Amino acid sequence: MLHVENLTAAIGDKQILKGLDLDVGSGEVHALMGPNGSGKSTFAHALAGRDGYEIGGTVTLDGADLLEMSPEARAAAGIFMGFQYPVEIPGVNNMYFLRTALNSVRRARGETEIGARDFLAVAKEAMELVEMKQDFLDRAVNAGFSGGEKKRNEILQMAVMQPRLAVLDETDSGLDIDALRIIAGGVNALRGPERSMIVITHYQRLLDYITPDFVHVLVDGRIVQSGDRTLALHLENHGYADYVDTDLDADPRAAPERPLAGASS
């Protein structure tokens, strides 16, 4: 469904992604792990279409060239990004924002817009998923939300948008254990044969709740190893030391004694 080939991304002279390859099939959940600065968030933004990067390579979603599309066109094509730092929009009602978002993609797909009353039903269902109260919809988008509330709001939006591919960028960062459980519950409920996910995280903890089909290790702009979830457990115990040599310029693929972790995809 998602095909990424030799993806490169740079800001100015700084090359961040250095030839990333990844295939995600329909209904699959892929975890993407890696040390700070390895390019995980850049990868998410490259998929979502953020301005400011020099992008090279190929990315297709269901055969369509994603890199040619504006961010909003990618959203209409079914890409949803859960932000690591959800943005505050003061004065804009959460419900209004959500309905505008949903109707924007519906319009772009040639579907009819959804009215206020029908939307409320959709929103209510989504809110139950992330255990939110009604007043959440009446507040301004992320303004004054706690860290946990912001992340739950991301999952709420995902539930409303019903994306084809969700890219969740460190959705677990800054969460206490209860919030983590709620969010993971929401994400699991949204898993389905037609929906794929890329879950970006530092910690294997999240993967106790969201069991990935595949785990990839991203180091210095490339995927250096792929495996099943036991790879994540190994990383939990050993960190990224196996990949990140004290010599930062070393080619990570040449790192010694890589663990042999389960089936490689």
Partner 1 sequence: MSDTLREIEELANAGYQYGFSTDLDTDIAPPGLNADVVRLISSKKNEPQWLLDWRLAAYEAWTKMDEPDWAKLNIAPIDYQAISYWAAPKSKPVLDSMDDVDPDIREMFDKLGIPLHEQKMMSNVAIDAIVDSVSVTTTFKATLLEAGVIFCSFSEAVHDYPDLVREHLGSVVPVRDNYFAALNSAVFSDGSFCYIPKGVRCPMELSTYFRINSQNTGQFERTLIVAEDDSHVSYLEGCTAPQRDENQLHAAVVELVAKDRAEIKYSTVQNWYPGDENGVGGIYNFVTKRGRAHTDAKISWTQVETGSAITWKYPSVILQGDRSIGEFYSVALSNKRQQADTGTKMIHIGKDTTSTIISKGISASHGQNTYRGLVKVMRSAENARNYTQCDSLLLGKDCGAHTIPYIEVKNPSAQIEHEASTSTVGEDQLYYCRQRGMSEEDAMSMIVNGFCREVFNELPMEFAVEAQRLLSVSLEGSVG
- Nearest distance, CB of residue 135 and partner 1, angstroms: 17
Report the residue from 4, 7, 59, 75 that binds partner 1 according to the rule CB under 8 A.
Answer: 75
Q: Which is nearer to partner 1, 97 or 209 (CB)?
A: 97
Task: Determine if 209 is a binding residue for partner 1 (CB under 8 A).
Answer: no
Report if residue 90 touches partner 1, rule: CB under 8 A.
yes
**Strands 222-227 vs 214-219: parallel, antiparallel or unpaired:** antiparallel
Of 51, 135, 249, 257, the one binding partner 1 (CB under 8 A) is: 51
Query: Which residue of 97, 136, 203, 209 would you call a contact of partner 1, by CB under 8 A?
Result: 97
DSSP assignments along 104-123, one per residue = HHHHHTTPPPPPHHHHHHHH
Q: What residue type is 192 in one-letter code?
A: G
- Reduced to 3 states (helix: H, G, I; strand: E, B; else coil), residue 216 is strand
Considering only the stretches 2-10, 79-87, 110-118, 119-127, report the one whose residues sit in contact with partner 1 under the rule CB under 8 A: 79-87
The 125-164 site mask, x for binding partner 1 (CB under 8 A), equals: ---------------xx---------------x---x---
3-state secondary structure the chain: CEEEEEEEEEECCEEEEEEEEEEECCCCEEEEECCCCCCHHHHHHHHHCCCCCEEEEEEEECCEEHHHCCHHHHHHHCEEEECCCCCCEEEEEHHHHHHHHHHHHHHHCCCCCCCHHHHHHHHHHHHHHCCCCCHHHHCEECCCCCHHHHHHHHHHHHHHHCCCEEEEECCCCCCCHHHHHHHHHHHHHCCECCEEEEEEECCCHHHHHCCCCEEEEEECCEEEEEECHHHHHHHHHHCCCCCCCCCCCCCHHHCCCCCCCCCCC
The token pair that represents 263 in the structure block: 């089936």
Nearer to partner 1, 154 or 220 (CB): 154
Which range in 93-101, 175-183, 206-214, 228-236 contacts partner 1 by CB under 8 A? 93-101
Residue 121 tokens, joined: 């039903």
Residue nearer to partner 1 on the CB measure, 164 or 258 = 164
> Among 28-36, 71-79, 120-128, 240-248, which window interacts with partner 1 (CB under 8 A)?
71-79
Under the binding rule (CB under 8 A), the answer on residue 80 touching partner 1 is yes
Residues in the interface with partner 1 (CB under 8 A) total 33
Q: Under the criterion CB under 8 A, does residue 71 sit at the interface with partner 1?
A: yes
- Near partner 1 by CB under 8 A, which window of 64-72, 119-127, 192-200, 214-222? 64-72
Smallest distance, partner 1 to C-beta of residue 151, A = 14
Residues that bind partner 1 (CB under 8 A): 48-52, 70-72, 74-76, 79-81, 83, 86-92, 97, 100-102, 104-105, 108, 140-141, 157, 161
